[in-house]
Structure 1
């Protein structure tokens, strides 16, 4: 980030790099507040349905807390929780709606990809096998691009529900779609940069056990190793969930600042002991 964000400093709509930098700073400043929430969220995942709803709600709660910091409307955890707990099942409905929409897009895309690939393969096979390979590869690239584009449009789907009053789950998804309409490319770059930042944690907690399992199969067969691997993956998720929710909050705020004239402010305030 070209300029550091100081306490009380107002920032105009952010560039891609500044969105990520602001998110990293806010995550670093508030991790003591957000990590316990993420830990509870992951513990709730072990409870079917209701626990999943709690996970989605707490994820939205973290984004609301982050947005409050940016908007100079900071809340304590109990204050923010009181505002979002009434939307418990709406948060879950957003997760299900996004899941089924992505599943439908994926299935439809695979069908169209298969038909187009078969047609091009038949036509181009009479000309050159190399052209067939190139054409099919290009189709796959287009398919991936379309999936990423939809992902970008729904990236902040739960944040409006967490922040804005009197809004339903479906309206929150539509709000995300409307806000991101002119910023798909920026969001894709933000997601790529943010993903690269999380690679060290992902490698340590997700892929290191797989490497050990491949190199030392006897050790990997032990029950203790499986438990440690599982705990590492959960710990990684607890660390990364607040980061991604902060990213969403900063993106949501930046989109609103561009379209609705808000100012972005990061402040350092004492951590609350209330969780």
Structure 2
């Protein structure tokens, strides 16, 4: 089917966020159905981990040997890989559903799932590769950031003989560190922009290769990487309040747990901290349930626009 209209318009923050919000609202039930399924795989991973841990400890208690735990560990790894692959595939299903809506060739959840299930392991490999690339970029740039900050502090305090006791110098150093950290985050987002739509080629095009899908994402995103990075930053700010639902209780619980003195040392406080972290976990799942489809829709819109820009709006679907 051909689509000569461009529902997104130019690739701008306003157009993408507006189109994404509209598409998300109009297809909320369908996206929520897939998001529930994806979130269930996350819960299954946690449940399987607890179950395999219980079995491993029970076997050790009976045999007093850790050798029997090897099959348990291998079983846990296999089950976890399978659940992660299913989770990655369901995320891609939402991307495909959103893209097909934009291309005026809508699919049902069942049809989209049937199309992508044969590529399940490809989606898992793709998510690992993108995570690995981002980790390496973050690690290398973080080391560089630490070196730069150390050099600048040394120059200000020792090279210029200003000393750290000076309030103005301390303020300048703190401000400089904040600016450098913000620049570091901007750098990470800029690199992530190249891989932001990596799921889409594997979900939409005929390829079954995770490596090709990542290369395709970089190829398409290169023409508008700064705009894609800006869209990612704004989408993050839009979804941040929902993500805080789970992060705040968990953070408070961790602070209470790690405190070694004062009123936080008693058992009742530790119990409250545990409840806070458990509640934070479930609230985090709820946030993921709501936010994840929105991010996948944004990816589909960006991919649709990038593909139109490079290959023309008269796409054959």
TM-score bracket, shorter-length normalisation = 0.7 to 0.9
Q: Which residue number corresponds to residue 93 of structure 2?
A: 61
Aligned residue for 2:294?
243
Aligned twin of 1:272: none
> Which residue in the other structure is 2:219 paired with?
178
TM-score of the aligned structures, taking structure 1 as reference length? 0.81
* 1:184, distance to aligned residue in structure 2 (A): 2.1
Q: Which runs of 5+ in 1 are unaligned?
A: 1-7, 265-275
The structure with the larger Rg is 2
Q: Is the 8 A contact 1:66 1:246 kept in 2?
A: yes
**Residues 249 and 276 of structure 2 are in contact (CA less than 8 Å); yes or no, is this contact kept in structure 1?**
no
CA shift for structure 1 position 162: 0.6
Which consecutive unaligned segments of at least 5 residues does structure 2 have?
46-78, 164-168, 257-263
**8 Å contact 1:93–1:169 — kept in the other structure?**
yes
Preserved contact between residue 10 and residue 263 of structure 1 (Cα < 8 Å): no
Aligned to 1:254: 305
Give the structure 2 partner of residue 36 of structure 1.
33
Deviation (angstroms), 1:193: 2.3
Higher relative contact order (CA 8 A, sep 6+): 1
SS of 1:221's equivalent? helix
Equivalence for 1:117: 149
Which residue of the partner structure matches residue 81 of structure 1? 113
How many Å separate the matches in 2 of 1:211 and 1:173?
38
Deviation of 1:178 (Å):
1.1
Q: Whose helix proportion is higher, 1 or 2? A: 2
Indicate the larger mover: 33-42 or 198-207: 198-207
How big is the shift at 1:65? 0.6
Deviation at 1:169, TM superposition (A): 0.3
**Do residues 126 (structure 1) and 177 (structure 2) align?**
no
Change (3 A) 1:93 1:14: same
Q: Measured at CA, do residues 53 and 17 of structure 1 come closer, stay the same or move farther in structure 2, by a change above 3 Å?
A: same
SS in 1 for 2:159: coil
TM-score, with structure 2 as normaliser: 0.71
The CA RMSD over aligned residues, in Å, is 3.0
Contact 1:13 1:257 in 2 (8 A): no
